[in-house]
Homo-oligomer: A and B are copies of this chain.
Amino acid sequence: MKDRFLRALKRQPVDKTPIWLMRQAGRYLPEYRATREKAGNFLALCKTPELACEVTLQPLTRYALDAAIIFSDILTIPDAMGLELSLIENVGPVFNKSIKNIDQIKQLDVPDPYDKLNYVAKAITLVKKELNDTPLIGFAGSPWTLAAYMVEGRSSRDFAKVKKLSYSEPDSMHLLLQKLSVAVTSYLKMQIEAGADAIMLFDTWGGLLSESNYENLSLNYMGKILRSLEPTGIPTIVFTKGGGMWLDKISRIGSTCVGLDWMTDIKVAKQIIGHKVALQGNLDPAIMLTTKTIIEKETKNILDSYGIGNGHIFNLGHGITPDVPPENVKYLVDFVHSYSQKFHD
């Protein structure tokens, strides 16, 4: 069943619960590390369509995954805006230029994706040719998450700079978020045009905000993007890490599916919003570091918690980590498919 993932997104009946994994094309795979070596570095890998295509397909060669996700990074947009991204191992993303004031925000150009980010469209086109009907997910970071990195210049423990800017100069912050929303929208439209079958918005740092700021600075902008994508008819997934308190609000902004982090109880989430949207998640990524027995027990637990009913896409509650043994992933994927049959008919 090639359309298992897309059917589950629409809460239609499927034969087995579909599964894919955030960061499934990643460092835990030796063949990924080899290709990245060939590219030189992470960003070169993102920007070389042939190699990005290669690593996108790698996990699908190994595992019976129900979807591919285009290999890229959420920070390609700020990079295209001229902030000069590098991704440093064990440090994470670092921008050579960060955003400090309103003048810099005013000067930021919304990039034309067909010019500055065309390498992503090319990679999508290449992947689609190889995929043989397996659906391909396109993605972007949420405006708030992009803004957080752009103002801090890198990842941060408390994101004090971007929060200070948000509280002190709300107009500057909204101008930045507005520009990013336009950029994300046209970037995602390009991905859809190139062949993406579904779209995911990663709101990695929305969970660091107070509830009212989350609505004001993150959720509203994601809603705006989703409304702009609506005419395409392409299904969408919204994922705010740490957003478990706000599931009801998240489910009302127009996405097809809500991604759950591992802290959220999927049974509770299903009760709150399962009648409105599909749910994706939510195994603790740390479980992938253990044994097959434990993976089986915890996976059962999640599938049982969701129980009978359409609209569940199995995933981790966050990206897979570099130290996961690849054979554990095979075990997980096959187990989800075999065990979940009893919840479908």
Which residues does A use to contact B, with CB under 8 Å? 158-160, 163-164, 167-168, 207-214, 242, 244-245, 262-265, 268, 284-287, 289-291, 294, 298, 301, 317-318, 321, 323
Identify the interface centre among A263, A264, A289, A291: most chain B CB within 10 Å of its CB: A263
Closest 9 CB pairs of A and B: A163-B286, A211-B265, A244-B245, A164-B289, A168-B290, A167-B290, A160-B286, A245-B245, A167-B294
* Chain A interface main SS type: helix
Asked if A211 and B268 sit within 8 Å, CB to CB, the answer is yes
Asked if B321 and A158 sit within 8 Å, CB to CB, the answer is yes
A–B pairs, 15, beta carbons within 8 Å: A158-B318, A158-B321, A159-B286, A160-B321, A163-B286, A163-B287, A164-B289, A167-B290, A167-B298, A207-B263, A208-B263, A210-B265, A242-B263, A245-B245, A245-B264
How far apart are A314's CB and chain B's nearest CB, in angstroms?
15
List 20 extra interface pairs beyond A167-B287, A168-B294, CB under 8 A: A158-B285, A158-B286, A158-B318, A158-B321, A160-B289, A160-B321, A163-B286, A163-B287, A167-B284, A168-B291, A207-B263, A210-B262, A210-B317, A211-B264, A211-B268, A213-B284, A214-B263, A242-B263, A244-B244, A245-B263
How far apart are A97's CB and chain B's nearest CB, in angstroms?
22
Asked if A286 and B164 sit within 8 Å, CB to CB, the answer is yes
Which chain B residue lies CB-closest to A293? Answer: B168
Asked if A211 and B160 sit within 8 Å, CB to CB, the answer is no
How many copies of the shown chain assemble into the complex? 2
How far apart are A206's CB and chain B's nearest CB, in angstroms?
10
From B168, B212, B265, give the contact of A212 (CB < 8 A). Answer: B265
How far apart are A101's CB and chain B's nearest CB, in angstroms?
15
Cα A184 to Cα B290 with chains together (Å): 30
Which residues of the partner chain B approach A164 to less than 8 Å between Cβ atoms? Answer: 286, 289-290
Cα A244 to Cα B214 with chains together (Å): 14
Cα A291 to Cα B262 with chains together (Å): 37
Which residues of the partner chain B approach A214 to less than 8 Å between Cβ atoms? Answer: 263
Which residues of the partner chain B approach A207 to less than 8 Å between Cβ atoms? Answer: 263
Cα A158 to Cα B322 with chains together (Å): 12
Which residues of the partner chain B approach A158 to less than 8 Å between Cβ atoms? Answer: 285-286, 318, 321
Asked if A263 and B209 sit within 8 Å, CB to CB, the answer is yes
Asked if B168 and A284 sit within 8 Å, CB to CB, the answer is no
